[in-house]
Structure 1
Amino acid sequence: MFGFGLPELCIVAAILLVVAGPSKLPQFGQALGSSIRGFKKALNSDDSVKIEEKR
């Protein structure tokens, strides 16, 4: 997972806990999850945009 192991993830979680406090962590998790879902949805969509040249 991007070169992160369990020890690195624990350190990042501890830093977030100290900086943000325990009341803000669920909001961070929710925002991260929705961002990842949106990114995956955008990658899997078949929407293509045609770019036409002006002549």
Structure 2
Amino acid sequence: MATERRGKDSAGRKPAGELSVEEELKRAQAKIKLLEAQVDLLKKVEALERQKKR
């Protein structure tokens, strides 16, 4: 029977400590865009809720 190898020697994502500066910057920029989009969505939802109360 074959030896179990799931999770061993995987070529998956690197641990956060091994990211290059460029990769960290790209990840941070993507997170900023996501957070800005979430803020915009919340503002729209709040505006719609205010309209309903009128």
Provide TM-score, normalisation by structure 1.
Answer: 0.47
Higher relative contact order (CA 8 A, sep 6+): 1
The structure with the larger Rg is: 2
Provide TM-score, normalisation by structure 2.
Answer: 0.48
